[in-house]
Every structure is written in C-alpha cells, then in structure tokens.
Amino acid sequence: METTEKIVEAYCRHVMGWLTIPNVKCRGQYEVDLLAVDVSAGEGVRRYHIECGVSISGSHSRLTTEQFSPELLKQRLEQSRQRRTLGYFIRRKFGRKEVLNKLREYGFKGNNYTRVIVTWGWEEDALKEAKRAGVELWDFRDVLRAIADACQGRKTYFADDTLRTIQLFQRSERTKSNR
C-alpha cells in the first residue's frame, strides 16, 4: 500500500469513523485501492470505492479531462499523463469487469456505492465531468488537513504509523524547537 493510500485510509477510519479494506486484489493485475463502509446509525450502510491518484509533479498533479488512451498508457513517457485523466479512473479503476466482479463479492453492486477519486486538485472541467459520471472528487490536501485537525490538541497515542506521523508533524508546527 502506498503512502497516499495509507493516509486516505487513516482519514476514512479515524476521521470519518468508517470501516475499511485496503488493497483488494482483483483478477488480472487490477486492484481496488480502498473500500470503505459507513455504518453510522440512521443512514443505513453507505459504501465507497476509493481510488487514489496523487501526484505533486507540477505538470501532472491535477486531474484532467484529456482523452484517455490505453495505448498511450503502455508508453513509459505517457503513463504519468494518462494516469491523471478522469477517463483512466472511470475506465480502468472503476469500470473494468475484473474490478466490478470483485466489488460484487463485497456487496458493492450497481449504484449502491459511491466512487471516489482522491487527487491533488483538478481542472474545473474534470469536476463537472466527474459529477456527470457519478464520481466524487476529494482533494488530498483537504484529507491531510482533516486528519491534522482531528489530532489537534489530542494527546492520544496513535498506534497507526500514518496517523502518528501526521499528529507529530502537526504538533511540531504548533510548538517551538530548542534551536
């Protein structure tokens, strides 16, 4: 599990209070980054299929509506750009039959779940297209801030390495060093 996925899982578990299953392997070489379930009282069960696509590269950080091409995805110099397209997520991460079959095993069927892309910002057109496709966009920076805010002033010792690191960083920003 890569770092950004761990951070998003920590957000879902510790900030939102959801149950999570990370790195769900599918047939072929496909994988679901994160499944999350909100079982809070009164709302019934809400399910989330979450995919992370976080890049801080200046030229490829934001999610775009550029045309996705499976052929270009195979070319090393084009992979990064292709993985920043909405079409990549819709076709390859959410729409593959291998993924959909695995999701059914966990009770994720039809429209009984929300598809989420976590990314480092997006173009305005990407937000509009995502809404039309029934996909939510979460900004990774907001996820980090929410975790830091949840740790604010708490002296709880988190055994989760990701949460503990963010908690320590957040605390270091509030206090002066001895230098």
pLDDT in tens, 6-34: 999 999 998 999 999 999 999 998 999 99
For residue 14, give Cα distances in angstroms to 25, 73, 162: 24, 35, 11
pLDDT greater than 80 at residue 59: no
From the candidate CATH numbers 3.40.630.30, 3.30.1490.20, 3.40.1350.10, 3.30.470.10, the one assigned to the domain spanning 3-171: 3.40.1350.10
Indicate the pTM of the whole model. Answer: 0.88
Better-scored residue on pLDDT, 16 or 72: 16
Do residues 94 and 115 lie in contact, with contact meaning Cβ atoms separated by under 8 Å? yes
pLDDT tens, residue by residue, 106-164:
999 999 999 999 999 999 999 999 999 999 999 999 999 999 888 777 676 677 788 78
**Greater model confidence, 78 or 67:** 67
In the block, which residue shows the tokens 């095993």?
105
Measured between alpha carbons, how far is 118 from 53 in angstroms, rounded to an integer?
A: 6
